[in-house]
């Protein structure tokens, strides 16, 4: 007799089967949903791991997450990372400054001059010339 690793309710099973049959979700969500369904059907960790191309530990993690979170286990957890320091309004101000006339004595803006002017005008506390370049490169009208 095979060990049933996960016991899905009828509603959960239908939800997962619908999600898998539509193919509208990301590859990660699709793979997790398929793995959870296979575990519900009585397949072993080894069989599912081999057919899905993941490790046994990944299968155990999927089962544990399902048992604690339910179907929310299919979605990715929020990623950590450095928060955004420059808001959209600040980006617009920086772009507008770069498109304006350069200060007297300069023929055109350069990145270091822009960075200094941005801090001087108090658009933000600090910004490097390389970050200014990155911000301006993302605009369609970038002269840089």
* Spans of all domains in the chain: 10-74, 88-137
Contact 16, 36 (CB under 8 A): yes
Confidence of residue 53 (pLDDT cuts 50, 70, 90): very high
How do residues 61-70 score in pLDDT, each as one tens digit?
999 999 999 9
H or E stretch covering 85: none
**In the chain, what percentage of residues exceed pLDDT 70?**
94
In angstroms, the CA 16 to CA 140 distance is: 42
Q: Decide if pLDDT at 142 tops 60.
A: no
Q: Model confidence at 36, in pLDDT bands (50, 70, 90)? A: very high
Tokens 């997450």, residue?
Answer: 65
Q: What is the pLDDT of residues 1-27, one digit of tens each?
A: 456 678 889 999 999 999 889 878 888
Query: How far is residue 129 from each of residues 41, 82, 122, 133, measured CA to CA in Å?
Result: 57, 19, 15, 6
Pick the residue with more confidence: 127 or 144?
127
Task: Please name the residues in contact with 44: beta carbons below 8 A apart, sequence gap of 6 or more.
Answer: 2, 3
Residue 84, C-beta contacts closer than 8 angstroms, at least 6 positions apart: none
Question: What is the share, in percent, of the chain residues with pLDDT greater than 90?
Answer: 54
Q: Confidence band (pLDDT; 50, 70, 90) for 102?
A: very high
CA 143 vs CA 114, 137, 138: distances in Å: 13, 8, 11
Is 101 a residue whose pLDDT tops 70? yes
Nearest-10 crossing angle of helices 56-69, 45-52: 110
pLDDT in tens, 114-140: 999 999 999 999 999 999 999 998 877
Q: What is the pLDDT of residue 84?
A: 78
Mean pLDDT of 63-83: 87
Residue 53 phi, psi (nearest 5): 75, 35
- DSSP annotation of 74 reads G
């Amino acid at each position: 007799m095979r060990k049933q690793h996960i016991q899905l309710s009828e509603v959960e099973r239908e939800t997962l089967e619908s999600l898998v049959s539509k193919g509208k979700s990301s590859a990660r969500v699709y793979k997790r949903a398929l793995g959870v369904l296979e575990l519900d059907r009585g397949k072993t960790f080894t069989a599912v791991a081999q057919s899905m191309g993941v490790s046994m530990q990944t299968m155990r993690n999927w089962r544990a997450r399902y048992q604690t979170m339910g179907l929310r286990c299919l979605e990715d957890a929020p990623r950590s990372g450095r928060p955004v320091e420059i808001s959209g309004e600040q980006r617009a101000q920086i772009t507008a400054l770069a498109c304006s006339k350069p200060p007297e004595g300069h023929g055109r803006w350069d990145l270091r001059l822009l960075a200094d002017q941005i801090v001087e005008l108090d658009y933000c506390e600090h910004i490097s010339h390389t970050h200014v370049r990155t911000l301006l490169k993302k605009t369609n009208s970038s002269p840089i």
